[in-house]
Amino acid sequence: MSEQLSYVLSKVLWFPLRPGTFALLLGWLGLWALWRRRRWGRWPLLAALGFYTAVFATPLSQWVLIPLEERFPRPAAAPARVDGVVVLGGMVDQTITEARGIPALNGAAERLTEMVALARRYPQARLVFTGGQGSLVHGGLTEADVARALLTAMGVPPERVTYEEAARNTHQNAVLTRALMRPGPGETWLLVTSASHMPRAVGVFRKAGWEVLAWPVNYRTGRSLVVWYDAPFPERLAQFETGLREWLGLLAYRAMGRTDALFPAP
């Protein structure tokens, strides 16, 4: 399967099949069938209600995310020397940014703020941000464009950061950035991305021939009941969809030979 085709399919198929949308479609199908006096309509309606109830009443979203987020724990002590830092895109809301003319970030903004912290902790390290157009329908603005403006405004000199602006998915993040930065043998490179995305990201970088040290951010889970039930229902639904998409991404990337294992481990 070509790179472009797999990218388009991942975007097009996810829209109707994402759990919240699919459950809503099932519910409407059930209601339509019951209105037409079709007894089978109760089953899709019950399935839809059952799914929404499970997300609302149980820590389902946490159970899906916890194995992903805890697969690559952050090192207890920061390395004494770091040769480079790779930060993956995914934190920019490109649609709102283009509509309003100022940078808009989503829930993964910690990827960018962590880059600023690491730039100050390791003043000699090479820094690279990788992110192009993440949406299927987009304008001319890339994530790298937005990151450049924000990092410069936060005091990171523009000449310190290399911006890779062609990657549209995690696989391209690894392949294009490795070709751009040419890491040397024995160098220590930190990989910064969301904790739930780290297993797939590390697997892709390994497959590309680049051994990186996981430096996860943007945690969304915990081990207490307060964490499990604190988030409102829409947020829990979004967390469940994020986790499910990562699991599906792991399966798809393994099937396409883009990762070194089905569930990469430290």
Chain length of the chain: 266
Phi and psi at residue 85, to the nearest 5°: -130, 130
Shared-domain flag, residues 27 and 102: no
Shared-domain flag, residues 94 and 199: yes
Q: Quick one: which of 156, 213, 163 has its CA closest to 189?
A: 213
Does 160 map to a domain?
A: yes
126-130/189-194 β-pairing: unpaired
Does 75 map to a domain?
A: no
189-194/161-164 β-pairing: unpaired
Shared-domain flag, residues 59 and 92: no
pLDDT tens for each residue of 32-80? 999 999 999 999 999 999 999 999 999 999 999 999 999 999 999 999 9
pLDDT of residue 10: 67
Does 77 map to a domain?
A: no
Shared-domain flag, residues 230 and 204: no
Residue pair 165/131 in contact by the 8 Å Cβ criterion = yes
Quick one: DSSP state of residue 140? S
Domain count across the chain: 2
Sheet architecture: strand order including 213-217: 161-164, 126-130, 84-88, 189-194, 213-217
Residue 247 belongs to what domain range?
3-69+222-255
Shared-domain flag, residues 197 and 119: yes
Tokens of 144: 């790298």
Q: What pLDDT band is residue 163 in, cutting at 50, 70 and 90?
A: very high
Cα 200 from Cα 211, distance rounded (Å): 13
Shared-domain flag, residues 32 and 122: no
Long-range contacts of residues 102-111, Cβ cutoff 8 Å, at least 24 apart: 103/146, 103/149, 103/150, 107/218, 107/220, 108/194, 108/218, 110/194, 110/217, 110/218, 111/87, 111/192, 111/193, 111/194, 111/217, 111/218
Shared-domain flag, residues 213 and 230: no
Half-sphere exposure of 101 (CA within 13 A, CB side): 0
Shared-domain flag, residues 169 and 184: yes
Q: What pLDDT band is residue 137 in, cutting at 50, 70 and 90?
A: low
Q: What pLDDT band is residue 133 in, cutting at 50, 70 and 90?
A: confident
Q: pTM for this structure?
A: 0.91
Give mean pLDDT, residues 88-95: 89
